[in-house]
């Protein structure tokens, strides 16, 4: 029998949660690297998901603490979509996925883990990336630690950010 190790999941499983909003600019005084922030836009940001569905699972959120789409201002909506596009461009270049799941979960009943701060999920997908483990054991196999993925993606976001006004 082989072991499947995902040590970062224990924080989530044991219920340890941050006492601050992970998407708000202050971030409880943590650095961007500690928070896994890949890009800071004028109104929105991109960060890695600490509890990913797959490697490269990114989150895009406005800096302003809003829960509903109707609360967004026009310029926030535009920047959110520009950053979702940036995520797909960088992920295509670095990780070569076959497709993406992109979406938001609005409200706890829709699966929002942080329901009072709207955020998009950008999840790269590969042909054949599902397997029996998720079906039978409710476990996902994530082959690379999220900190390694962060280090791999960060230079590409910095490079893209230098070329765009986003």
Residues recognised as catalytic:
119
Is the Cβ–Cβ distance between 139 and 3 less than 8 Å? no
Reduced to 3 states (helix: H, G, I; strand: E, B; else coil), residue 68 is coil
Chain-centre distance for alpha carbon 157: 14
What is the rounded distance in angstroms from the CA atom of residue 73 to the CA atom of residue 98? 33
Rounded to 5 degrees, what angle do the CA atoms 34, 44, 70 make?
A: 130
End-to-end CA distance of the chain: 48
Output the six-digit token pair for 42: 């004028």
Reduced to 3 states (helix: H, G, I; strand: E, B; else coil), residue 138 is coil
């Amino acid at each position: 029998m082989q072991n499947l190790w995902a040590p970062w999941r224990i924080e989530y499983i044991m219920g340890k949660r941050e006492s601050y909003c992970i998407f708000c600019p202050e971030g409880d005084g943590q650095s961007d690297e500690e928070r896994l922030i890949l890009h800071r836009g004028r109104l929105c940001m991109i960060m890695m998901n600490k509890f990913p569905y797959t490697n490269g699972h990114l989150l895009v959120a406005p800096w302003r603490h809003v829960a509903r789409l109707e609360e967004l201002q026009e310029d926030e909506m535009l920047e959110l979509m520009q950053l979702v596009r940036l995520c797909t461009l960088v992920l295509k270049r670095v990780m070569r996925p076959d497709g993406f799941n992109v979406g938001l979960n609005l409200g706890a009943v829709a699966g929002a883990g942080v329901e009072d701060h709207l955020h998009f999920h950008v999840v790269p997908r590969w042909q054949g990336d599902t397997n029996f483990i998720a079906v039978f054991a409710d476990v996902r196999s994530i082959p690379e630690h999220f900190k390694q993925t962060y280090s791999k993606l960060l230079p590409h976001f910095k490079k893209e950010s230098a070329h765009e006004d986003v």
